[in-house]
Amino acid sequence: MKAISLEGIHLLGTIDCEEAIVKRPDDVRIKIKSVGVCGSDIHYYRDGKIGVQVVKYPFVIGHEFSGVVEAIGSGVSRLKVGDRVSVDPSVSCGTCDQCLAGRPHTCRNNKFLGCPGQLEGCNKPYIVMPERNCYLLPDPLSFDEGMLVEPLSIGIYSTLSAGDVAGKHIGILGFGPIGMCVFQSLKMRGAASVFVSEPLANRRALALAQGADMVVNPLTEDVISVFNNALPLQQDIVFDCCGMQQAADQAINTLKPGGTFMIIGIPEFDNWAFQADLMRRKEITIKNVRRQNHCDQAAIDAISSGNVSMEGMISHRFHWSEAQKAYDIVANYRDNVMKVVLYFDE
Ligand SMILES: [Zn+2]
Ligand SMILES: [Zn+2]
């Protein structure tokens, strides 16, 4: 079976990889339908690494996908051949202290699709996954919406992790796909106002169209003074969805005393810097988000019920033979890109 492989910095190719065959009783074989290109895929594409996770070439990345069950192991009870599924790319061990504490996303033995040294990614036509990672897609949901369950689950988990957001004033720094998923989750959960900072014009327009209460361009406006002038008592919670140092500075300067800074973005640097004095006097809480925990079904329900809208998320669609072009568009923020999808049908 051919798969799309990372061959070097900014370079994709194809490799022959192992056929997707059901071997374990709890495995299902999935025909992959829709694969999203994620910001973290782009980190591997552009830098060859995320932190200590360094790519050894060639390597197959990709982790956001949906598909159809094609074969099932003897122990599979919930799914049947022909079922449409969204797939959680995180395979946890189920036995370590983290799994037993209900934190499979920080499992000591976690294996994540398309993560160097862990599992081969989903940029290929077929894959084998444990049944427990597969979530049935209700009929009205498209394969593209099924693929968006993974990023949306991160948005939902991030807002749940921030606590009660209802009636709160909130900032989002960065309105890429994850910023939008955080935004939609906040709206669903009753945030009083959401201010957005985003450098790309198309993404600012999307945030406005979805009902953001204020949208600023951090390249031409002073985010701190614009946010603070509009909201003199300042924000309850600020979400970093860009992984930039400025986000930390802006958050600490726009949060109210007792506020919370949620870090979702993946920085390209090794160390954050925080204004110690201001952060201490305001007693700011800083919380990191690692992917998501048990929010797959909530994401499916949110899309099916219409409580969130994924409208405007997908900006580009490509056959996988055009993967290099697709990745270049995302890596260079070209053509008003938001989420790019690859299709693996022959
Ligand atoms: Zn992702
Ligand atoms: Zn574990």
Listing DSSP states for 195-209 in one string gives EEE-S-HHHHHHHHH
Phi, psi of 144 (to 5 degrees): -65, -45
Nearest Cα neighbor of 310 from 338, 342, 335 is 338
Taking each helix axis from N to C end, the angle separating 39-47 and 323-331, rounded to the nearest 10 degrees, works out to 90
Expressed in angstroms, the distance from the first to the final Cα of the chain is: 12
Instruction: In whole angstroms, give the CA distance from residue 25 to residue 46.
Output: 38
In the CATH scheme, what architecture does the domain 2-136+313-343 have? Alpha-Beta Complex (3.90)
330: left (phi over 0), alpha (psi -120 to 50) or beta: alpha
Cα angle at 18 between 12 and 21, to 5 degrees? 135
Ligand showing the shortest atom-to-Cα distance for residue 64: 1
For residue 96, the 8-state DSSP code is S
Ligand 2 center to residue 105 CA distance, Å?
8
> pLDDT value at position 243?
97
Ligand 1 center to residue 34 CA distance, Å?
14
Ligand 1 center to residue 122 CA distance, Å?
12
> pLDDT value at position 346?
65
Ligand 1 center to residue 78 CA distance, Å?
26
Ligand 2 center to residue 98 CA distance, Å?
6
Ligand 1 center to residue 11 CA distance, Å?
20
| Strands (E) located in the chain | 2-8, 11-16, 27-37, 49-50, 53-54, 64-72, 84-87, 90-91, 111-112, 126-130, 134-136, 169-173, 193-197, 214-216, 235-240, 255-263, 285-288, 314-319, 339-343
Tokens coding 250: 């802006």
Residue numbers of the chain with a pLDDT score lower than 70: 346
Task: Name the one residue in this structure whose structure tokens are 């959960």.
Answer: 189
Ligand 2 center to residue 125 CA distance, Å?
28
Helices (H) and strands (E) in the chain, counts: 10, 19
Instruction: In whole angstroms, give the CA distance from residue 149 to residue 166.
Output: 23
Ligand showing the shortest atom-to-Cα distance for residue 98: 2
What CATH number was assigned to the domain covering residues 155-288?
3.40.50.720
Ligand 1 center to residue 64 CA distance, Å?
6
Instruction: In whole angstroms, give the CA distance from residue 330 to residue 46.
Output: 10
Q: CB of 13 within 8 A of CB of 58?
A: yes
> pLDDT value at position 324?
97
Ligand showing the shortest atom-to-Cα distance for residue 292: 1
Ligand 2 center to residue 155 CA distance, Å?
23
> pLDDT value at position 67?
98
Instruction: In whole angstroms, give the CA distance from residue 158 to residue 287.
Output: 10
Ligand 2 center to residue 57 CA distance, Å?
27
Tokens coding 87: 């797939």
Give the 3-state DSSP-derived string for 261-287, with helices as H, strands as E and coil as C: EEECCCCCCCCCCCCHHHHHHHCCEEE
Tokens coding 91: 């395979």
Nearest Cα neighbor of 40 from 85, 86, 91, 90 is 90
Nearest Cα neighbor of 271 from 298, 308, 245 is 245
Which pLDDT tens digit goes with each residue over 133-176? 999 999 999 999 999 999 999 999 999 999 999 999 999 999 99
Ligand showing the shortest atom-to-Cα distance for residue 121: 1
Ligand showing the shortest atom-to-Cα distance for residue 152: 1
The domain segmentation of the chain, as residue ranges, is: 2-136+313-343, 155-288
Ligand 2 center to residue 90 CA distance, Å?
11
**Largest Cα–Cα distance in the chain?**
62
pTM of the model: 0.97
> pLDDT value at position 345?
83
Ligand showing the shortest atom-to-Cα distance for residue 103: 2
Task: Name the one residue in this structure whose structure tokens are 């036995």.
Answer: 95
Ligand showing the shortest atom-to-Cα distance for residue 339: 1
